[in-house]
Amino acid sequence: MKTFIVYDLDSKMPVAVGEQVSAETARSCASAATGIFHANLLAEEIDLEKTLPTSPESDTVTSA
């Protein structure tokens, strides 16, 4: 399973985060849960093991 964040392409806002086997499945499940047409959704795989920068000045993402 992979972790995905799903965005609404119209509002450019995230609408769902979860684990699915593929981006297409993530879009389909988010569509069913939100009522947003699946073609208006974008699923992006995210890696939860990477840590985010701790300060705004940092440009790089470090690995844990």
Residues forming beta bridges with residue 17, ordered by sequence position: 5
Q: Which pLDDT score, from 0 to 100, does residue 59 have? A: 58
Residue 40 lies in domain: 2-46
Report pLDDT for 58.
54
Q: How far apart are CA 25 and CA 55, in angstroms?
A: 34
Query: What's the whole-model pTM score?
Result: 0.73
In a domain, residue 10? The reply is yes
Residue 18 lies in a domain: yes
Residue 60 is assigned to a structural domain of this protein: no
13 lies in some domain:
yes
Residue 56's φ and ψ, nearest 5 degrees, are -60, -25
Count how many residues are written for the chain: 64
Tell me the pLDDT tens digit for each residue of 21-64.
999 999 999 999 999 999 999 999 998 787 666 666 655 555 54
User: Does 26 reside within a domain?
Assistant: yes
Residue 55 lies in a domain: no
